[in-house]
Amino acid sequence: MPDQYAVIGNPVAHSKSPLIHAAFARQTGQDLVYERLLAPKDAFVATANAFRARGGRGLNVTLPFKGEAFRYATVLSERARSAQAVNTLKFDGDVIFADNTDGAGLVNDLVRNLGCVIAGRRILLMGAGGAASGVIEPLLQQQPAQFALANRTPEKTQSLAQSFRGALEAVSYSALAGRQFDLVVNATSASLAGELPQLPPGVFARGALAYDMMYGRGETPFLAFARSEGAAQLADGLGMLVEQAAESFYIWRGLRPDSAPVLQQLRQMKDD
């Protein structure tokens, strides 16, 4: 029987992960199946346990279970520990190894696919939920000159800035007036509701890249705003999705798939 993997979430029907991992498996000649696993909101642990009991080898974890998966793990990677959220589980006997590949996915998409240089540049990250906290450490490792973190609710940015010992600066959206950034990343869930964070005009420096971790049909409200503000480069989160999957695939199978053709395939489907 092929090794079994799945993405667990609620909702999960929309997830593109099965398609991505099937493409990676074909490309690398790996014998595996990858399904969608819908867990009731109050039954993450029971659903994950049942999957393990029937031989499941690993899970990707999506909303709203990334925090619960963190607590479910018996061994945490450094990345999972710093994010306090988990998107990848690997099962090996009694061991539940947990990692967070979201940040590496974002950085790989920025650096390799989009040719973005982060070192020495000014970054603005918007949002202070699980999506934001998962990408802070890998972004910091790229050694930006400035790292500002903005959120609608200021208490959350302050506590995140404290947990990263002052390596980032907690700011309110209104305090960004008059400042400029080379990379602006939207890690809020605002695009889901067709909204955008209350950014003042003029935050995009010359040559700036605007990155929305969300993706979907059409431009997100944040990317539309960035375009109207003259941002030089716009990117949605589809590349990050494929790159975080490639990193999970590597954890499970020890092989690095080529993400480029898979990203291209997904972009074509999106345009259809």
Quick check: 9 binds ligand ATR (CB under 6 A)?
A: no
* Residue 142 to residue 120: CA distance in whole angstroms: 9
Catalytic residue from among 66, 90, 156, 270:
66
* Positive/negative CA dihedral, 97, 185, 145, 231: positive
CB of 57 to ligand ATR, least distance (A): 26
Part of the chain binding ligand ATR (CB under 6 A), chosen from 72-80, 130-138, 227-235, 249-257: 130-138
Nearer to ligand ATR among residue 181 and residue 252 (C-beta): 181
66 catalytic per annotation: yes
* Residue 17 to residue 25: CA distance in whole angstroms: 12
Nearer to ligand ATR among residue 4 and residue 188 (C-beta): 188
Ranges of beta strands (E only) in 22-121 are 32-38, 56-61, 75-76, 88-92, 95-99
Part of the chain binding ligand ATR (CB under 6 A), chosen from 53-61, 184-192, 244-252, 259-267: 184-192
* Residue 231 to residue 208: CA distance in whole angstroms: 5
Quick check: 195 binds ligand ATR (CB under 6 A)?
A: yes
Interface residue with ligand ATR among 20, 190, 208, 242 (CB under 6 A) is: 190
Strand partners, 150: 126, 171
Instruction: Tell how strand 146-150 and strand 122-126 pair up.
Output: parallel
Instruction: Tell me, residue by residue from 217 to 246, as one string, x for binding to ligand ATR by CB under 6 A and - for no binding.
Output: ------------------------------
* Residue 49 to residue 98: CA distance in whole angstroms: 15
- Contacts with ligand ATR by CB under 6 A lie at 127-132, 151-153, 156, 188-190, 195, 197
